[in-house]
Amino acid sequence: MKELSSIVKLTDSFKNFSSVGSKTAERMAFNVLSMDDKTVDELIQNIKDVKEKIHPCPICGLLSEGSICPICNDEHRDHSTCIVLSSYKDVYNFEKSNTYRGTYHSLNGDLSSLKGIRPEDLRIKELLERIDKENIKEIIIATNPTIEGETTALYLAKLLEDKNIKVTRLAYGIPMGGNLEYADELTIQKAIEGRTTLK
C-alpha cells in the first residue's frame, strides 16, 4: 500500500469527512479506481458545484443556491412566525415533518463561554432587523436542549422582552414512539414539567 502514494493521499483526503473512518476511506480510494471515467468526472464536478453554488441566504442564514433562499422567497409561507435554529442543518427535519409553514432563522451557533462564542458572533443582529422589517409576531426558539442551546434560548428571551412579540420554546418530553424505559431523567423531568391537560 505505502508504494501507492496517490492511494494513500486520497485515503487521507477521505478521512477528512466526519463520518468516514480509515478502513472506509481506504476502501473508497480503491473504489475510485474501479469507477469509470464519467462517474469520476461527475463526482469531481459535483464537489466543485457544491462549493461554488451554495451560499448562506443573507436573510435567514439557511443554505441556498440562489441569492435568497426559497423559503424566504415564498410568499405563501407565514412570514409572521419564525423558528430560530442553532444550525442551518436543523431546518431539514422541520421541513420533513411538513407541519410548519412559517420561516426560519439560523444563528449559526450557540452561545458558549467555553468555546468563546459571544452574542456578536451569532446572527442575532440579523434576527432583530428581521423582526422589525418582516413584522414577526412569534419567535419559536428551537436551539438544542443542551447547556449552550438553553443559554442561547434564555439570552434571546431576555433580549426580546420589551418587544411586542410572542417568544416560545419547542416542547421537550418523551419522543413519540419512544419507550419510557429508555428515557433519561432530564427528559422525564421536562416531560412532567410540560405535561398537558387531557380532561
Could you list the residues that contact its own copies (CB under 8 A)? 1, 3-7, 9-10, 12-14, 16-20, 24, 27-33, 35, 37, 39-40, 42-44, 46-51, 53-54, 63-65, 69-70, 89, 92, 95
Q: How far is the CB of 10 from its own copies (least distance, A)?
A: 4
Q: Which is nearer to its own copies, 121 or 138 (CB)?
A: 121
Q: In the block, which residue shows the cell 472506509? A: 24
Are the CB atoms for 135 and 148 separated by under 8 Å? no
Q: Which is nearer to its own copies, 112 or 187 (CB)?
A: 112
Q: What is the DSSP string of 168-197?
A: EE---SSPTT--GGG--HHHHHHHHHT---
Q: Which is nearer to its own copies, 68 or 186 (CB)?
A: 68
Q: How far is the CB of 197 from its own copies (least distance, A)?
A: 37
Are the CB atoms for 103 and 77 separated by under 8 Å? yes
Residue 12 gets the label, from left (phi > 0), alpha (psi -120 to 50) or beta, of alpha
Q: How far is the CB of 17 from its own copies (least distance, A)?
A: 5
Q: Which is nearer to its own copies, 9 or 133 (CB)?
A: 9
What distance in Å separates the CA atoms of residue 55 and residue 67, rounded to the nearest whole number?
A: 8
Q: How far is the CB of 184 from its own copies (least distance, A)?
A: 24
Q: Quick one: cell of 38?
A: 464519467
